[in-house]
Structure 1
Amino acid sequence: MPQPEKELTPDASPQEWFGAELRYWRKRKPGLRAAQLGPMVQVSPSVISKIEKGAYRCHSELAARLDDVLETGGVLVRAWGMVFGDADKKRGDADNAASSPVEGTIQVRHGRILGRDPSPHSGSPASVDRRQFLAAGSLAAIAPKDLANLVAPAAPPELPKKITPREIEQLHHAADVLHLADNTHGGGGLVSVMASRTMEWAVRLLSVRCPDQLQIAFLSAIARLGIVVGASHFDAYAHDDARVAFKVASECATEAGDWHLRAKTYSFLARQAIWINDPDSGLTYADTGLVRSERLTATERAMLHSARARAFGKMHDVPGTIAAVGQADEAFAHSNPAEDPPWMAYYDEAQHAGDTAHALYEIAVHMRQDPGQAGRRFETAVAGHGDSFKRSRAISRIKLASLVMAKGDPMQAVAIGHAALDDVGLLTSRRAADDLRELGRFSAQHRGLEAAVELRQRIRGTLQA
């Protein structure tokens, strides 16, 4: 009989905190033991146990392999930089007290600590003459890390002396640009970099003096940006970063007394929790967002009831799902875009149909409920989403294909699946990728159908591209 795992003491030292982080992420993989994880990352089984107990110093390459296997979104490499990277730097500084000064770079917030550079490899090279460096050889001869430091600003941009309407307008413009990029391309790649740097700038602005008459508008602008950035990180599975952005958003919205932005923040916190298989927390977030619902517009209430429906669906609670979908539909029937904040314009008929379809999908596939309702709503979502919401359209198409593959005509599902893959294109959405994997699993149930086999091969090729 397996021995119970030793209780960890993450507060005892930074190394033991790192071990507790590793155990947390390992246990998110149901049934994965330390002895099994070791060979998966090319170390002996005992090494994992020792790292978790704070008795072994993890190296950076192992932290990167652990991130890949446990699908953390880079959390352990960032933690490594905070725990071990700083220690290495201090030792290096002590050994090289007379070394040349280093150039500064913009510190991008990743992980749990605002303003902290997360990467163990983020130190800039020694100060150099940039023109002489670039003249030394071809671009191919320059290490990408060194080149990145050469083109980066030498220091973070100087903060303004006080907040003016100009800064507030810039925050709104940044949120607009990121929102469009995220919905069109997904939250990964360059969009992720833009989101991180923009959020870091916004958080730094919080330390700047703001005149009383601009305080509410300023906090609301940061709240809205935090929602957009959090949504982008969520799509890229940078879940810790997303939670921090949403936390900043909720605090700023609450301080500003902006119930609309507060509701939107809790809607996204609910969606994220449900997606990572924590529907109970998702339901709590959605219910929290509905507090003082009389202050919200009908569209916002529909948005939050849709989140509740998705939580119940993930729980496989059929009565709860159907009731919450009914409440969402009732609220949406009274939707009046003229009453909504401008940034709620995304929640139109297509968005509502897609959100409620996701809830009904869960009970149709797993609880043998009628798939017709979910299918019709996905069709409405696909038809209603334009190219500006390519990711939402692609995800709805993928889920519709999975629903039909599991419950209907597989040949029809194949056709829908190919249309979905056409839509996916160059999306960087990890949510869309996971939904494609699910479609591939449903397609595998029809091994004797050549068209289904070809769809699986195309899915595999798309995911590997």
Structure 2
Amino acid sequence: MDAATPGPLAPEVLERDDLKRALAEHDFAAAFSLIKKWGGLSQNRIAAACQLTPGKVSTIISGQQQVTSFEVICRIADGLRIPGRMVGLADRSWERQPDTPDPPTTPLDTRSSDDAHWRPTATVQLATDMTRSDFVMDRRAATRAMVGAAMSGAALLDSLEGWLQPAPPAEATHRRGRVGQREVKELEATARAFRAWDHRFGGGLRRKAVVGQLNEVAGHLEEHQEPAVEQGLFRVMAFLGGTAATMAWGSGLQKQAQDYYMLALRAAHAGGDATFGANVLAGMARQMLYRDRPQDALELVHLAQKGARKAAGPRVLAMLHTREAWAYAAMGRAAAFRRATSEAAEALAEAGAGEEPYWITYFDEAELAGVTGGRLLDMARSEPQHAEAAAANIRSALTTRGAEAGRSHALDLIGLAECHFLMGDMTGAVEQTHHAVDAAARTRSTRVRAQLGQLYPYTVGRPTSRTVGEARARIRELLSS
């Protein structure tokens, strides 16, 4: 449908306050009902226009299914000719370029590895749409996004194949940019600050600030043409996208987290930063591991290793080996876990000061010990003989990085408390549980609280003990706050 084709809805229908409100809140059950009533469109007509099945439209109208996919929202906007601003998107192509036909799919369609979706302009459009939609998301829409399912399996892996191919050349533009290298450096410094926020506090309210900065960078990329500056801006976009992903994940927004990871990977690809792209894939692998999909995680790690083998330094390689080890531990492959952990230690031993990007400097002996301890703890849940080794590694991490590590510190303490429960040391378990609750209370990370919730069952069903009961009460109090 080109720009000259009139939309199926009359202008006065789109001006209705009730329809505007439903669209702004992403309440498509109400929006479709209003469109049927006032726009005169049948359910089948709505389905055809939006490239949905009639059954899908029926379940949306009945409230049985919520629309949380950015790609579907874009199809609804384009199919019904709803201006992007009304659903929290950037202006659609048919609004900005009247003489240009719409593309067959939107850049938010992450199911295809077609080259078009890896073009720099598509990445910029993706960033603009995602951040604008994120800004207008109210509490109800946020709840829907929280339960949205992240992709996995072949659908996820096929969508990432384009990362291994060279980045397509940027389209020529006649618009002159307004930023230079100095501004890019300032944006990089801001991205570092946001990353430090996430590492220490776990996101929370700060996530919107990151999304705002990401939207601003996308705006600069829409108008800039100087190659070096453009590359720098794409790299900043990748850093911010990765931070937005971990913050969204830390806030329980799994689908949003994966969408931001996708954006970060595409931005790293456009910016020619294979090393950070590997880091993004490692983050996606970790998300799969937390969702009990170790095979998907292993495939993502192997994709990262393949794509960055010529560019990655020792710390990045070591980190990727630990993700590989994590997947093997989750599969119960103890020998493969030990091999990958050994390879991580060997790679890290070759790391020197100042040789790698700032974002990987966190990966040191303490991080290796903490990750190794956590994976040994995973195995100890079914084979308790690993608990002592897990506790030793976690103690080493705690001693080295301290409370300033924020979220990692809290996760380490929760893991150490669980180790003591598995070893039957109630005194040590209670002591570490109190420390863990104190640390968890200082973060806004739902991931930390989820891990603390896994500790709670160890305090239940044991012989009556005042100290265990006190620890249980503190966990319950924090989790219910």
Q: Give TM-score scaled by structure 2 length.
A: 0.66
**Residue of structure 1 equivalent to 2:287:** 272
Q: Give the C-alpha shift of residue 14 in structure 1.
A: 8.4
Question: 4+ runs of 1 displaced by more than 6 Å?
Answer: 77-90, 102-107, 109-112
Measured in 1, the distance between the counterparts of 2:49 and 2:129 equals 14
- CA deviations over 1:68-108 (Å, ceiling 9, x no partner): xxxxxxx7498998799999997xx9xxxxxxxx999998x
The letter of the residue matching 1:399 is G
Maintained 8 Å contact 2:50/2:80: no
Maintained 8 Å contact 1:224/1:249: yes
**Residue of structure 2 equivalent to 1:235:** 250
Measured in 1, the distance between the counterparts of 2:401 and 2:176 equals 40
Maintained 8 Å contact 1:16/1:53: no
Aligned residues: 366
Maintained 8 Å contact 1:302/1:331: yes
Q: Give the C-alpha shift of residue 113 in structure 1.
A: 5.2
Measured in 2, the distance between the counterparts of 1:168 and 1:284 equals 34
- CA deviations over 1:18-65 (Å, ceiling 9, x no partner): 99xxxxxxxxxxxxxxxxxxxxxxxxxxxxxx8x67346145xx87xx
Summarize the alignment of residues 71-150 of structure 1 with structure 2, pairs less than 5 Å apart. 76=68, 114-117=130-133
Specify which of 439, 442, 451 is matched with residue 426 of structure 1.
442
- CA deviations over 1:369-394 (Å, ceiling 9, x no partner): 42222111111121222444211001
- C-alpha change, 1:410 and 1:239, in structure 2 (3 Å) is same
Summarize the alignment of residues 163-178 of structure 1 with structure 2, pairs less than 5 Å apart. 163-178=179-194
Maintained 8 Å contact 2:318/2:344: yes
Maintained 8 Å contact 1:183/1:388: no
Maintained 8 Å contact 1:77/1:120: no
Summarize the alignment of residues 20-39 of structure 1 with structure 2, pairs less than 5 Å apart. none
**Residue of structure 2 equivalent to 1:384:** 400
Q: Give the C-alpha shift of residue 307 in structure 1.
A: 0.7
RMSD over aligned CA atoms reads: 3.8
Measured in 1, the distance between the counterparts of 2:213 and 2:127 equals 15
Q: Give the C-alpha shift of residue 166 in structure 1.
A: 3.7
Specify which of 250, 262, 274 is matched with residue 277 of structure 2.
262
Maintained 8 Å contact 2:88/2:129: no
**Residue of structure 2 equivalent to 1:185:** 201
SS at match of 2:186: helix
Specify which of 55, 58, 61 is matched with residue 57 of structure 1.
61
Task: Work out whether 1:366 is the aligned partner of 2:382.
Answer: yes
Q: Give the C-alpha shift of residue 429 in structure 1.
A: 0.5
- C-alpha change, 1:428 and 1:212, in structure 2 (3 Å) is same
Measured in 1, the distance between the counterparts of 2:186 and 2:89 equals 19
- CA deviations over 1:302-334 (Å, ceiling 9, x no partner): 100011111112222222222211211221222
Measured in 2, the distance between the counterparts of 1:333 and 1:240 equals 36
Maintained 8 Å contact 1:365/1:407: no
Q: Give the C-alpha shift of residue 427 in structure 1.
A: 1.3
Q: Give the C-alpha shift of residue 452 in structure 1.
A: 1.7
Measured in 1, the distance between the counterparts of 2:47 and 2:73 equals 18
**Residue of structure 2 equivalent to 1:446:** 462
**Residue of structure 2 equivalent to 1:247:** 262
- C-alpha change, 1:333 and 1:217, in structure 2 (3 Å) is same
Q: Any stretches of 5+ residues in structure 2 without a counterpart?
A: 1-43, 91-124, 140-174
Measured in 2, the distance between the counterparts of 1:284 and 1:355 equals 19
**Residue of structure 2 equivalent to 1:356:** 372
SS at match of 1:339: coil
Q: Any stretches of 5+ residues in structure 1 without a counterpart?
A: 1-8, 20-49, 67-74, 94-101, 123-158
SS at match of 1:384: helix
Q: Give the C-alpha shift of residue 274 in structure 1.
A: 0.9
**Residue of structure 2 equivalent to 1:222:** 237
Measured in 1, the distance between the counterparts of 2:75 and 2:231 equals 38
SS at match of 2:422: helix
Q: Give the C-alpha shift of residue 415 in structure 1.
A: 0.2
- CA deviations over 1:215-272 (Å, ceiling 9, x no partner): 3333222222222222222222222222222222222222333232122112111111
Measured in 1, the distance between the counterparts of 2:375 and 2:250 equals 18
Worse-superposed segment, 410-419 or 213-222: 213-222
Q: Give the C-alpha shift of residue 431 in structure 1.
A: 0.8
Maintained 8 Å contact 1:164/1:210: no
The letter of the residue matching 2:191 is A
Measured in 2, the distance between the counterparts of 1:362 and 1:14 equals 48
Task: Work out whether 1:334 is the aligned partner of 2:334.
Answer: no
Maintained 8 Å contact 1:192/1:232: yes
**Residue of structure 1 equivalent to 2:330:** 314
- CA deviations over 1:146-203 (Å, ceiling 9, x no partner): xxxxxxxxxxxxx984442243123212211211211221122x12222222222233
- CA deviations over 1:81-139 (Å, ceiling 9, x no partner): 8799999997xx9xxxxxxxx999998x99995355365769xxxxxxxxxxxxxxxxx
Maintained 8 Å contact 2:201/2:407: yes
**Percent identity of the aligned residues?**
22
